[in-house]
Protein backbone atom coordinates (compact mmCIF):
# COMPACT_ATOMS: atom_id res chain seq x y z
CA UNK A 1 0.00 0.00 0.00
CA UNK A 2 2.90 2.34 0.76
CA UNK A 3 4.30 1.65 -2.69
CA UNK A 4 1.01 2.85 -4.24
CA UNK A 5 1.20 6.16 -2.34
CA UNK A 6 4.82 6.69 -3.39
CA UNK A 7 3.88 6.00 -7.00
CA UNK A 8 1.05 8.56 -6.91
CA UNK A 9 3.37 11.10 -5.25
CA UNK A 10 6.02 10.61 -7.97
CA UNK A 11 3.45 10.97 -10.77
CA UNK A 12 2.12 14.20 -9.24
CA UNK A 13 5.66 15.52 -8.77
CA UNK A 14 6.56 14.82 -12.40
CA UNK A 15 3.37 16.49 -13.62
CA UNK A 16 3.96 19.61 -11.51
CA UNK A 17 7.64 19.85 -12.40
CA UNK A 18 6.86 19.96 -16.11
CA UNK A 19 4.52 22.92 -15.58
CA UNK A 20 6.84 24.68 -13.12
CA UNK A 21 9.92 24.45 -15.32
CA UNK A 22 8.23 24.95 -18.67
CA UNK A 23 10.18 26.99 -21.17
CA UNK A 24 8.68 30.10 -22.72
CA UNK A 25 7.68 29.49 -26.32
CA UNK A 26 6.50 31.54 -29.25
CA UNK A 27 3.11 29.87 -29.27
CA UNK A 28 -0.16 31.29 -28.10
CA UNK A 29 -3.04 28.80 -28.34
CA UNK A 30 -5.41 29.68 -31.18
CA UNK A 31 -3.16 32.40 -32.60
CA UNK A 32 -0.71 32.41 -35.50
CA UNK A 33 2.75 33.81 -34.78
CA UNK A 34 3.45 36.70 -37.18
CA UNK A 35 6.95 37.45 -35.98
CA UNK A 36 9.31 39.16 -33.58
CA UNK A 37 10.28 42.76 -34.28
CA UNK A 38 12.95 44.85 -32.61
CA UNK A 39 12.59 48.59 -32.39
CA UNK A 40 14.93 50.92 -30.52
CA UNK A 41 13.80 50.10 -27.00
CA UNK A 42 11.11 47.42 -27.33
CA UNK A 43 11.02 43.86 -28.57
CA UNK A 44 7.57 43.07 -29.95
CA UNK A 45 5.96 39.70 -30.74
CA UNK A 46 2.79 39.78 -32.83
CA UNK A 47 0.09 37.08 -33.00
CA UNK A 48 -3.13 36.97 -35.05
CA UNK A 49 -6.28 34.88 -35.04
CA UNK A 50 -7.75 33.29 -37.11
CA UNK A 51 -4.53 31.79 -38.42
CA UNK A 52 -5.65 32.48 -41.99
CA UNK A 53 -7.16 35.99 -41.70
CA UNK A 54 -10.39 36.45 -43.63
CA UNK A 55 -12.83 39.31 -44.06
CA UNK A 56 -14.56 39.78 -40.71
CA UNK A 57 -13.33 39.95 -37.15
CA UNK A 58 -9.65 39.40 -36.40
CA UNK A 59 -7.89 39.55 -33.06
CA UNK A 60 -4.32 40.63 -32.45
CA UNK A 61 -2.16 39.77 -29.45
CA UNK A 62 1.00 41.74 -28.75
CA UNK A 63 3.81 40.84 -26.32
CA UNK A 64 6.26 43.62 -25.47
CA UNK A 65 9.65 43.32 -23.76
CA UNK A 66 12.38 45.75 -22.87
CA UNK A 67 15.34 45.18 -25.18
CA UNK A 68 17.85 45.79 -22.37
CA UNK A 69 16.72 43.41 -19.65
CA UNK A 70 14.21 41.19 -21.58
CA UNK A 71 11.43 41.76 -19.03
CA UNK A 72 7.81 42.05 -20.06
CA UNK A 73 6.28 45.51 -19.90
CA UNK A 74 3.25 45.61 -17.62
CA UNK A 75 1.87 49.10 -18.16
CA UNK A 76 2.59 50.11 -21.74
CA UNK A 77 0.24 51.99 -24.01
CA UNK A 78 -0.05 49.91 -27.19
CA UNK A 79 -1.78 51.61 -30.12
CA UNK A 80 -2.47 49.69 -33.33
CA UNK A 81 -3.15 51.27 -36.72
CA UNK A 82 -4.18 49.01 -39.62
CA UNK A 83 -3.99 50.37 -43.15
CA UNK A 84 -5.29 48.58 -46.25
CA UNK A 85 -2.67 48.80 -48.98
CA UNK A 86 -5.24 48.72 -51.80
CA UNK A 87 -7.67 51.41 -50.68
CA UNK A 88 -5.76 53.21 -47.93
CA UNK A 89 -8.58 52.86 -45.42
CA UNK A 90 -7.25 53.14 -41.89
CA UNK A 91 -8.43 51.51 -38.65
CA UNK A 92 -7.31 52.39 -35.13
CA UNK A 93 -7.58 50.59 -31.80
CA UNK A 94 -5.83 50.32 -28.45
CA UNK A 95 -4.50 46.96 -27.32
CA UNK A 96 -5.32 46.29 -23.68
CA UNK A 97 -3.94 43.90 -21.10
CA UNK A 98 -5.43 42.79 -17.80
CA UNK A 99 -4.05 42.47 -14.26
CA UNK A 100 -4.34 38.69 -14.55
CA UNK A 101 -2.51 38.54 -17.89
CA UNK A 102 -0.27 41.57 -18.16
CA UNK A 103 1.94 39.98 -20.85
CA UNK A 104 -0.59 39.90 -23.70
CA UNK A 105 -2.04 43.12 -25.06
CA UNK A 106 -5.21 42.18 -26.97
CA UNK A 107 -7.12 44.05 -29.65
CA UNK A 108 -9.94 43.29 -32.08
CA UNK A 109 -10.70 44.67 -35.55
CA UNK A 110 -13.44 44.11 -38.10
CA UNK A 111 -11.91 44.05 -41.57
CA UNK A 112 -14.15 44.68 -44.56
CA UNK A 113 -11.53 44.43 -47.32
CA UNK A 114 -9.21 41.71 -48.51
CA UNK A 115 -5.62 42.15 -49.58
CA UNK A 116 -2.46 43.26 -47.84
CA UNK A 117 -2.77 45.19 -44.58
CA UNK A 118 0.03 47.14 -42.89
CA UNK A 119 0.07 47.24 -39.09
CA UNK A 120 1.72 50.12 -37.22
CA UNK A 121 2.32 49.38 -33.55
CA UNK A 122 3.06 52.36 -31.34
CA UNK A 123 4.33 51.32 -27.93
CA UNK A 124 4.79 53.84 -25.17
CA UNK A 125 6.37 52.84 -21.83
CA UNK A 126 8.66 54.28 -19.16
CA UNK A 127 11.64 53.59 -21.44
CA UNK A 128 10.17 55.72 -24.23
CA UNK A 129 8.15 55.44 -27.42
CA UNK A 130 8.74 53.10 -30.34
CA UNK A 131 7.12 52.27 -33.67
CA UNK A 132 7.00 48.79 -35.21
CA UNK A 133 5.66 48.02 -38.67
CA UNK A 134 4.40 44.58 -39.74
CA UNK A 135 2.06 43.32 -42.45
CA UNK A 136 -0.31 40.45 -43.14
CA UNK A 137 -2.66 39.32 -45.91
CA UNK A 138 -6.44 39.00 -45.58
CA UNK A 139 -8.10 36.53 -47.96
CA UNK A 140 -11.37 37.05 -49.83
CA UNK A 141 -13.19 34.14 -48.24
CA UNK A 142 -16.07 35.11 -46.00
CA UNK A 143 -16.35 33.08 -42.81
CA UNK A 144 -20.15 33.46 -42.53
CA UNK A 145 -21.43 30.37 -44.39
CA UNK A 146 -22.90 32.11 -47.43
CA UNK A 147 -23.34 29.73 -50.38
CA UNK A 148 -22.47 26.82 -48.14
CA UNK A 149 -24.65 24.01 -49.53
CA UNK A 150 -23.74 21.46 -46.83
CA UNK A 151 -24.66 23.83 -44.02
CA UNK A 152 -27.97 24.60 -45.70
CA UNK A 153 -28.75 20.90 -46.20
CA UNK A 154 -27.92 20.11 -42.57
CA UNK A 155 -30.13 22.97 -41.36
CA UNK A 156 -33.04 21.71 -43.47
CA UNK A 157 -32.58 18.12 -42.19
CA UNK A 158 -32.68 19.29 -38.58
CA UNK A 159 -35.82 21.35 -39.23
CA UNK A 160 -37.55 18.42 -40.98
CA UNK A 161 -36.62 16.07 -38.12
CA UNK A 162 -38.12 18.47 -35.57
CA UNK A 163 -41.31 18.78 -37.60
CA UNK A 164 -41.51 14.99 -38.04
CA UNK A 165 -41.08 14.54 -34.28
CA UNK A 166 -43.88 17.00 -33.54
CA UNK A 167 -46.14 15.31 -36.13
CA UNK A 168 -45.38 11.84 -34.69
CA UNK A 169 -46.19 13.02 -31.13
CA UNK A 170 -49.48 14.47 -32.32
CA UNK A 171 -50.52 11.27 -34.13
CA UNK A 172 -49.47 8.97 -31.26
CA UNK A 173 -51.31 11.08 -28.69
CA UNK A 174 -54.48 10.99 -30.84
CA UNK A 175 -54.22 7.16 -31.08
CA UNK A 176 -53.90 6.85 -27.30
CA UNK A 177 -56.92 9.13 -26.80
CA UNK A 178 -59.01 6.98 -29.17
CA UNK A 179 -58.03 3.78 -27.31
CA UNK A 180 -59.03 5.27 -23.98
CA UNK A 181 -62.46 6.30 -25.25
Report the alpha-carbon distance of residue 175 to residue 163 in Å, rounded.
19
Q: Are 64 and 72 in contact (CB under 8 A)?
A: yes
Q: Rg of the chain over CA atoms, in angstroms?
A: 27
Per-residue pLDDT tens for 34-43?
888 888 888 9
Yes or no: domain 25-142 corresponds to CATH 3.40.50.720:
no
Residue 63, CA distances (Å) to 60, 161, 175 in order:
10, 49, 67
According to DSSP, the β-strands at 128-142 and 54-66 are parallel
pTM of the predicted protein model: 0.63
According to the model, what pLDDT value does residue 146 have? Answer: 57
Q: How far apart are CA 132 and CA 120, in angstroms?
A: 6
> How many angstroms separate the CA atoms of 4 and 36, rounded?
47
The pLDDT tens digits of the residues spanning 109-147 come to 998 888 899 999 999 988 889 898 888 888 876 555 556
Q: What is the pLDDT of residues 61-112, one digit of tens each?
A: 999 988 888 888 888 899 999 998 888 788 999 988 888 888 889 999 998 8
Amino acid sequence: MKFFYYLIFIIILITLSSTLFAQESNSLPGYKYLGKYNSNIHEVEVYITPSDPKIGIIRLAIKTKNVDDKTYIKNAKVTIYLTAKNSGSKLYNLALNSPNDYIHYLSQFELEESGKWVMDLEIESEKGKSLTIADFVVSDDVRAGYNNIWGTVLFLLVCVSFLAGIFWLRISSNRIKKRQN
